[in-house]
Amino acid sequence: MSSLSTQVLVIGGGATGLGIAWDAALRGLKVVLIEQSDIGQGTSGRHHGLLHSGGRYALSDPVSARDCASENRILRKIAAHTIEDTGGIFVATPADPVDYPDRWFSACSHLNIPAEEISLSALLEREPLLNPRISRSFLVQDASIDSFDLAHSLVKGIQDHGGVVLLRHRLESVTRHQDCLVEAKISDLSNVESLSLSANLFINAAGPWAKTITNMAGAELPLALGKGTLVAMSHRLVNTVVNRCKPPSDGDIIVPVGTVSILGTTDVPVKEPTSLDIEPWEVDLLLAEGDLLLPGLRDSRPLRTWAGIRPLYRPVENGDAQTRNLLRAHVILDHEETDGLQCFISVIGGKLTTFRLMAEEAVDLICDKLEIDQKCSTASTPLPHETGQFYSLTSRLEKLEHQHSHAIADQVVCECELVMRGDIEFALEKTGSGTDLDDLRRDLRIGMGPCQAGFCAYRTYAISLEHSSSPPSLKGLHNFLYERWRGIRPVAWGSTLQQMEFSRRIYLDLLAAGPESENRS
Ligand SMILES: Cc1cc2nc3c(=O)[nH]c(=O)nc-3n(C[C@H](O)[C@H](O)[C@H](O)COP(=O)(O)OP(=O)(O)OC[C@H]3O[C@@H](n4cnc5c(N)ncnc54)[C@H](O)[C@@H]3O)c2cc1C
């Protein structure tokens, strides 16, 4: 077993953990982050991609609203390359409470959240497909944010400042010495080796898995899990984020992201971080509510569904509250205060939009504990950005238009997302051993377009076989296709069903790439 030591060990490579490791590295701390899978595999890669203006929580959760508004302004400066400035609108449909817009508007003014009322004609000029029976509409500063790009930039920011990011490394157990955590036992899942890591401070940023980590340490964490289902429509039906002007509830938002529009979300209490199954009623409800905003939406083509799990702090006094009614504000728990356990901090809740602020507060506490006097600089330090490193559809289109070469690297492998062979080879080289098709999907959007991996999965798999020193297993291809199928199945009707049947024939009938029981001779 190899061993390492560090000042700060961060458990979890979602936005929260990456933000903490970046802030700590910028302040000169020695930091190691471990992630059991790939970055952005947890909730941070399973949401709408909305950079909140704060409007959504202006009445229900003013602390979160204020945090979102101020972080929105900061992220536009330090992570501009991950943000598309779509703008946002709050609209009141005939189904919404008539007194809400005035109360909401005055809460926004009170919280310093920019909001401006516009006329119906100005609204329809901007978004012609919206319901003409909308009675009130307000412009806000919502935007869409690419969490995979953000995660890549954070990893680079950590590494540029001497921090270490270990992917496919899972925390298995922790050792206590009296009232202090001293050592972590970690498995390297790519080669089944173990690592022992001693640290001065252990930071639990494991999102929906955070309770498993506190259980390992013998500490308590009042955590509730809320599953949210989302539906991606195959087109960009709106160019602006559209919110219903009513108390937050199911199916009240549409976010344009890249080439698609994302409808969200439900909020169903679940017990496990892996409870990602989608119920038919959730899809029906999201389409019905979406139809109120965009009449005819039901007849558009849904591309796929997925779900993410919200880790929500549920103090004892809120023991019976529904997950929808729990506050979205983040919590930093010093387990020395709550459990008498030194050297251990949990950071949970919040939004992707507020990850930087959560990290700032967590690292302030870390510095206090380590008696280090270093101020936070993340609010004014732009995140590193390697131009065109991974995903940007516009840059890919531009490249394709201007290239006249017939080089093998310029062959298009994924027609939907314009991923070229050279992009895949570059990503494989960059991400190293253990990379699987799902990691490439997060890096390059392989399989995320309208054909949902109909053609690109087997081509990408073949390229991985040629280029990787540890070739990916056929099981990896099966898992990848299964995940695509799981997301399409709840919306399998009309042209989506035709596409699904087409892909099924390629993979199961032609390539026999399914479980034995499903293969045909
Ligand atoms: C449906 C839905 C929609 C949302 N929409 C938005 C939105 O539009 N805008 C917004 O700002 N916020 C949104 N959010 C909230 C936001 O996504 C979350 O607040 C944020 O992503 C949480 O990040 P995290 O890092 O805390 O958790 P995660 O991203 O889940 O990261 C935790 C990580 O810990 C790792 N881990 C767990 N156990 C171990 C272990 N033993 N060893 C090593 N690693 C481990 C996991 O693999 C995981 O990657 C949404 C949430 C949901 C559920």
Question: Could you tell me if the CB of 251 is within 6 A of ligand 1?
Answer: no
CA distances from 440 to 311, 423, 427 (A): 26, 10, 7
How far is it, in rounded angstroms, from Cα 457 to Cα 464? 10
Question: Could you tell me if the CB of 352 is within 6 A of ligand 1?
Answer: yes
Q: Which residues pair with 304 in a beta bridge?
A: 232
- Going by CA atoms, what residue is nearest to atom 42 of ligand 1? 170
Which ligand 1 atom lies nearest to the CA of residue 307?
1
Which residue out of 44, 68, 242 has the highest number of ligand 1 atoms within 8 Å of its CB and is therefore the one to mutate? 44
Closest CA to 257 of 445, 493, 17, 68: 445
CA distances from 346 to 81, 132, 258, 311, 362 (A): 30, 47, 34, 12, 9
- Chain centroid offset of residue 16 CA: 11
Do the beta carbons of residue 47 and residue 236 sit within 8 Å? Answer: no
How far is it, in rounded angstroms, from Cα 109 to Cα 54? 11
**Residue 309 C-alpha to ligand 1 middle, in angstroms?**
7
What letter does residue 403 receive in the DSSP assignment? -
DSSP 3-state of 371:
coil
Question: Could you tell me if the CB of 333 is within 6 A of ligand 1?
Answer: no
Q: Is residue 6 classed exposed, middle or buried when 0-12, 13-18 and 19+ CB atoms within 10 A define those classes?
A: buried
Question: Could you tell me if the CB of 486 is within 6 A of ligand 1?
Answer: no
- Chain centroid offset of residue 146 CA: 8
Question: Could you tell me if the CB of 11 is within 6 A of ligand 1?
Answer: yes
Do the beta carbons of residue 221 and residue 209 sit within 8 Å? Answer: no
Do the beta carbons of residue 12 and residue 169 sit within 8 Å? Answer: no
Enclosing H/E stretch for 145: strand 143-145
- What's this model's pTM, rounded to 2 decimal places? 0.92
Contact partners, residue 96, CB within 8 Å, separation at least 6:
244, 245, 246
Token pair of 326 as six digits: 């729990």
**Residue 13 C-alpha to ligand 1 middle, in angstroms?**
9
Q: pLDDT 10s per residue in the chain (521 long)? A: 789 999 999 999 999 999 999 999 999 999 999 999 988 889 999 999 999 999 999 999 999 999 999 999 999 999 999 999 999 999 999 999 999 999 999 999 999 999 999 999 999 999 999 999 999 999 999 999 999 889 999 999 999 999 999 999 999 999 999 899 999 999 999 887 899 999 999 999 999 999 999 999 999 999 999 999 999 999 899 999 999 999 989 999 999 998 899 999 999 999 999 999 999 999 999 999 999 999 999 989 999 999 999 999 887 666 666 666 666 789 999 999 999 999 999 999 999 999 999 999 999 999 999 999 999 999 999 999 865 554 566 667 777 777 767 777 788 899 888 898 988 998 888 877 677 888 888 888 888 888 888 889 999 999 998 887 776 777 888 888 888 888 999 999 988 888 888 888 888 888 777 665 554 43
Do the beta carbons of residue 261 and residue 232 sit within 8 Å? Answer: yes
Contact partners, residue 281, CB within 8 Å, separation at least 6:
none
**Residue 41 C-alpha to ligand 1 middle, in angstroms?**
8
Give CATH for domain 2-43+148-222+326-380: 3.50.50.60
- Going by CA atoms, what residue is nearest to atom 41 of ligand 1? 171
Token pair of 184 as six digits: 């972590």
Do the beta carbons of residue 201 and residue 295 sit within 8 Å? Answer: no
Enclosing H/E stretch for 430: helix 421-431
What letter does residue 505 receive in the DSSP assignment? I
Question: Could you tell me if the CB of 20 is within 6 A of ligand 1?
Answer: no
Q: Give CATH superfamily name and number for 82-144+224-313.
A: D-Amino Acid Oxidase, subunit A, domain 2 (3.30.9.10)
Contact partners, residue 54, CB within 8 Å, separation at least 6:
64, 65, 66, 67, 68, 69, 72, 108, 111, 113
Do the beta carbons of residue 255 and residue 50 sit within 8 Å? Answer: yes
Do the beta carbons of residue 309 and residue 239 sit within 8 Å? Answer: no
Which ligand 1 atom lies nearest to the CA of residue 12?
34
How far is it, in rounded angstroms, from Cα 7 to Cα 370? 9
Enclosing H/E stretch for 200: strand 193-204
Question: Could you tell me if the CB of 231 is within 6 A of ligand 1?
Answer: no
Do the beta carbons of residue 29 and residue 430 sit within 8 Å? Answer: no
Which residue out of 352, 355, 438, 439 has the highest number of ligand 1 atoms within 8 Å of its CB and is therefore the one to mutate? 352
Which residue out of 174, 351, 442 has the highest number of ligand 1 atoms within 8 Å of its CB and is therefore the one to mutate? 351
Q: Where are the domains of the chain?
A: 2-43+148-222+326-380, 82-144+224-313, 393-518
Question: pLDDT tens digit string along 127-174?
Answer: 999 999 999 999 999 999 999 889 999 999 999 999 999 999 999 999
Which ligand 1 atom lies nearest to the CA of residue 350?
19
Question: Could you tell me if the CB of 130 is within 6 A of ligand 1?
Answer: no
What letter does residue 208 receive in the DSSP assignment? G
Question: Could you tell me if the CB of 22 is within 6 A of ligand 1?
Answer: no
What letter does residue 366 receive in the DSSP assignment? H
**Residue 30 C-alpha to ligand 1 middle, in angstroms?**
24
